[in-house]
Amino acid sequence: MRISLYLGIAACLAGMGVVLHGAILSSGDAGFIQSNPEAVSITDGGFVSEYFDLSYRVPEGWAEGLPGPPPSQSGYYVLGTWAPKGDFAGTIMVAAQDTFFEPDSSDDVKSIVAQFRQVISTVDGMTIDREPSQVSIAGRPGYRVDFSGVGLFRSMFAIEIRCHVVTFNLTTHDAELLARLAGSLDSLIPVRKETSDSVPECVRDYASENVVHRVEPQAVGTRSVSIPVRLIVAADGSVKHVHVIRASAAQARNIEDAVRQWKFKPYAGQGDPVEVETGMVFNLKPASM
């Protein structure tokens, strides 16, 4: 059933000629679309993210912009960008920050937006046009802040999904257009038909504190490297999915091969064991050291 669903999604995406962003995908994992935050389908009309359970339709006449960089070592992703097909009047940039690898992970999205507002307000020539305020984004509580300077009008919307802060960053040189772009976020809707309890719970540091059987990945190359990795641990404690966020293909392969052999204490949550999603950083040493 699930595999059919994924194959259906994949076929649909292929038919649309969309791009699946993400450098490292576990091709052998039929569930990677739903388990991989980078697996976003981008079109001129918007994007669909199974992982974040979001579908977004950009305003009429807008097209896909330049893609952003690959995921950073701190788990920052640019999920998509768009701009008008004609006059270059604005941009939309959707990004996500994995809070597992965020130094200030204790901050919730409200605090993050407040910090953002504080920093922006110190920029020479910048004005806060709308103080951080709670909004509903795709049925989820989020926060919005508007600011402007040097003739550009900008807005950031932020929501928290699966231990990521997902932001919608709107920029225009026209205040009215900014309002229309903000209105386009009303098109954000969930894409999954399954109930929300099918999404793993996300728990920081679960891997480091609850592993009962561990196999070390083989080192690759001549340098020490830190590699961020997301895991989904099944209810029985086995590893269901490994997502290496930033690494070479060889490093990712070695990590996946090793981590798939790991066993964890099942995560009880608030009752019966459930799937849990967590993150960890592998510090791979050179083979010769």
Q: Look at residues 160, 158, 162 and name the one whose alpha carbon lies nearest to residue 170.
A: 158
249 near other proteins (CB under 8 A): yes
Among 175, 205, 286, 287, binds other proteins (CB under 8 A): 286
88 near other proteins (CB under 8 A): yes
Nearer to other proteins, 103 or 271 (CB): 103
Given the rule CB under 8 A, which of 34-42, 144-152, 232-240, 262-270 is the region that contacts other proteins? 144-152
> What CA–CA distance (Å, rounded) separates 279 from 101?
8
Among 12, 16, 123, 215, binds other proteins (CB under 8 A): 123
For the chain, what's the residue count?
A: 289
CA distances from 88 to 63, 75, 85, 146, 264 (A): 11, 30, 7, 20, 51
- For residue 126, the minimal CB distance to other proteins (Å) is 6
Structure-token pair, residue 237:
């404690």
124 near other proteins (CB under 8 A): yes
**Sheet containing strand 140-149, strands side by side:** 62-64, 76-84, 90-98, 164-172, 152-161, 140-149, 127-137
Nearer to other proteins, 146 or 275 (CB): 146
109 near other proteins (CB under 8 A): no
- Asked whether the beta carbons of 233 and 288 are under 8 A apart, the reply is no
CA distances from 19 to 40, 55, 61, 77, 155 (A): 8, 15, 20, 15, 26
- For residue 71, the minimal CB distance to other proteins (Å) is 9
Residue span 36-55 as binding mask against other proteins, x where in contact by CB under 8 A, dash where not? --------x-----------
Residues that bind other proteins (CB under 8 A): 23, 44, 63-70, 72-74, 76, 78, 81, 83, 85-86, 88-91, 93, 95, 97, 103, 112-113, 115-116, 119-120, 122-126, 149-152, 154, 156, 167, 169, 171-173, 221-225, 248-251, 286, 288
